[in-house]
A = this chain, B = another copy of it.
Amino acid sequence: MTVVRMHEWDADTRVDAAGDGRFTAHLTDRWSGTGGRPNGGYLVAFCLRALGEVLPHPDPLVVGAHYLRPGVVGPAQVDTEVVRAGRRLSTGEARLRCGDREVLRVVASYADLGAATGRTHVLGAPPDLPPPDECGDVYGGARLPDVTVADRVDLRAPEPHGWATGRPTGTPTTEFWIRFADGRPADTASLASLVDSAAPAVLELGETDSATVELTVHVRARPASDWLAARVTTRHVLGGFHEEDVELWDTSGRLVAQSRQLALLPTR
């Protein structure tokens, strides 16, 4: 008898080839955000698992995800298309369907980040945080019942987030450590989900939610550590629409992912 031990992320984002670029999947209720709906980062994962099967390069380099409708827990389907397969880059499209409705469309370009040997010149710097084992849960122990992604992804900071303790800071920037709760190391594909696994920075402005319209992720390097330092910032809210920028840095001080989403505040 063989026992295969699998991290929960890998089990919960599984896709099975069904021929002609189509994959079947099952969306669990274990990575859900507000309202118990599958988290946006979790939905992206199915598209990247499927694209990883059909594209020749190993690493997602840039991922554009357009959210069309809320995801639904249960059986799902991913249809992939190889748009272009070149020497240095390949591009594919994936459509995630729940029932007969498309919920997410992803266009992504893949590369071999191990072969990226060009110039490096970095002006930004990672968040200045004490080590993870000197930090506590950013939620301060509070949990919304349906927000199961908070049980799957550890977020740690020197102090709980202001909004989590009922005192939003008024400054829509948060910095914290992030890691899969079971210790699974992040790879380049799961980085594109981790950037969307924390609470939105606008909660520090007293807002209660934020709906993603589009998420773009630039994957920059293969992480050299399991804990990653995150910086989440919103700088421009106009008419309810706002960007949210996320940076993830590994403990060697390297930027591993950078994302920006366009999101909308709930109407009151």
* Interface residues, chain A, with chain B CB atoms under 8 Å away: 61-62, 64, 66, 68-69, 83-84, 89, 91, 93, 102, 105, 107, 109, 113, 116-124, 172, 205, 207, 213-214, 216, 218, 220-221, 235-241, 243, 254-255, 258, 260, 262, 264-265, 267
Which of B64, B238, B258 makes the CB contact (< 8 A) with A116? Answer: B238
The answer to whether A118 and B84 touch across the interface, beta carbons within 8 angstroms, is no
B residues less than 8 Å from A109 (CB atoms)? 66, 213-214
The binding surface of chain A is classed by DSSP as strand
* Known contacts A109-B214, A123-B172; 9 further A-B pairs (Cβ under 8 A): A64-B64, A117-B240, A118-B241, A118-B267, A119-B237, A121-B172, A122-B238, A218-B262, A220-B236
CA distance A261 to B107 in the complex (A): 14
B residues less than 8 Å from A105 (CB atoms)? 83, 91, 93, 107
The answer to whether A220 and B241 touch across the interface, beta carbons within 8 angstroms, is yes
Shortest Cβ distance from residue A248 to the other chain B in the assembled complex, whole angstroms: 12
B residues less than 8 Å from A207 (CB atoms)? 119
The answer to whether B213 and A89 touch across the interface, beta carbons within 8 angstroms, is yes
The answer to whether A236 and B255 touch across the interface, beta carbons within 8 angstroms, is yes
The answer to whether A61 and B123 touch across the interface, beta carbons within 8 angstroms, is no
